[in-house]
Amino acid sequence: MKYINFSLITLLGFASLLNLPTEGKQPYARNASKTGKKEQYADTIPKPTLSEVPYGTHERHVLDFWKAVSDKPTPLVFVIHGGGWKNGSKERLNRFVDAPKLLREGISVAAINYRYTSQANGINPPVKVPLYDAARALQFVRSKAAEWNIDKTRIAAAGGSAGACSSLWLLYHDDLADPKSDDPIARESTRLYCAAVNNAQTTADPQQMKDWTPNSKYGGHAFGMNSFDQFLAERKNILPWIQQFSPYLLASSDDPPVYLHYKGPPPAIGKPQKDPTPTANFGLKLQERCEELGLSCELVYKGAKKIKHNDATTYLIASLNSPSTTKQK
């Protein structure tokens, strides 16, 4: 089992991250796209069982919950939307999973909003804010296990792009539970049963990005940088941050299984990519790392052979509804 160093939590100010002042101009409304328009769920998504449930104090500290019909506690898929940690909302749910299919299979669903990096209000690096928001939301959901009929030992994360990276960060990070906290939510675990993500950026290290994909250009804003060149130039100075927030660097031999899906062409390490941000190069390198650690990692991309699961939803159903073969962390 992984445990967190609580002196580190004190340093990071986990509680203060969730109670930042909200005054000042917010770049987007609660459920807004980057165009400023309020986003809506696709017509195929049923009305949530519970809507706009607050898990913190900020206007974006809200989630929606769909309760699967079951006499027994149900598994749950915890969905983190994409948008570069700069835009997007939980209403993008259908981009990442087939919620109606999950519900039919007896799997409940939660979709969260979180603060953008532009709303960090001086917290450094800015990416700490959306990541710790996701952790707190996960703890909140676990705290509702009895009330919402959730099996808290079978919670999986899903998402795309930035939401995929957030999911992997949770998957590989030490447990953020504080068993001595006066806050019952903070005593809940942040560990996952598995994760199934789309187009994930698996490292936060600009040098790895450059080595894997020479025309890499994305990620600097997460660390307060104005460009990828600055991100790379400042790498040595911010290496402790990179080590804290890079899924690839956090992975260890006791971590749960993962499913990685990329919509683009096969990986080609060391070669420029047409779109370097969601490249399958990220997936291949994480898969290699998982193999070194003895972890399960299923990688899917165009042209991949021996595909077991065509999409994240299929993988999640197979994993969450199968007899447990994974130790709960």
String of DSSP letters for 143-156: HTHHHHTEEEEEEE
Note whether residue 61 is domain-resident.
Answer: yes
Note whether residue 210 is domain-resident.
Answer: yes
C-alpha 198/C-alpha 178 separation (Å) is 30
Beta-strand relationship, 150-160 and 74-80: parallel
Residue-wise pLDDT tens digits, 39-75:
999 999 999 999 999 999 999 999 999 999 999 999 9
Note whether residue 88 is domain-resident.
Answer: yes
pLDDT-derived band at 327, boundaries 50, 70, 90: very low
CATH of the domain at 78: 3.40.50.1820
Asked if 216 and 285 count as a contact pair (C-beta separation under 8 A), the reply is no
Residue-wise pLDDT tens digits, 109-122:
999 999 999 999 99
Residue whose pair of structure tokens reads 């940690």 in the numeric block: 85
Residue 321 has pLDDT above 50, yes or no: yes
pLDDT-derived band at 36, boundaries 50, 70, 90: low
Residue 26 has pLDDT above 80, yes or no: no
C-alpha 316/C-alpha 294 separation (Å) is 20
Note whether residue 76 is domain-resident.
Answer: yes
pLDDT-derived band at 22, boundaries 50, 70, 90: very low
Please give the share of the chain, as a percent, with pLDDT higher than 90.
Answer: 86
Note whether residue 199 is domain-resident.
Answer: yes
pLDDT-derived band at 83, boundaries 50, 70, 90: very high
Residue 184 has pLDDT above 50, yes or no: yes
For residue 3, what pLDDT is reported? 43
pLDDT-derived band at 322, boundaries 50, 70, 90: confident
Domain that holds residue 191: 6-320
Beta-strand relationship, 50-54 and 150-160: unpaired
| Average pLDDT across the chain, whole number | 91
- Domain count for the chain, please give it: 1
For residue 323, what pLDDT is reported? 74
Label residues 241-252 b or e (16+ Cβ within 10 Å = b): bbebbbbbbbbe
Alpha-carbon separation of residue 289 from 156, 166, 205, 267 (angstroms): 21, 18, 15, 15
Note whether residue 31 is domain-resident.
Answer: yes
- The residues, ordered by sequence, that sit 6+ positions from 164 with a Cβ below 8 Å of its Cβ are 80, 82, 197, 198, 199, 200, 201
231: enclosing H helix or E strand = helix 228-233
Asked if 114 and 137 count as a contact pair (C-beta separation under 8 A), the reply is yes
List phi, psi (to 5°) of 121: 50, 45
Note whether residue 325 is domain-resident.
Answer: no
Residue 170 has pLDDT above 60, yes or no: yes
Residue 295 has pLDDT above 50, yes or no: yes
pLDDT-derived band at 11, boundaries 50, 70, 90: very low
For residue 4, what pLDDT is reported? 44
Residue 326 has pLDDT above 50, yes or no: no
For residue 35, what pLDDT is reported? 55
C-alpha 207/C-alpha 184 separation (Å) is 40
Note whether residue 329 is domain-resident.
Answer: no
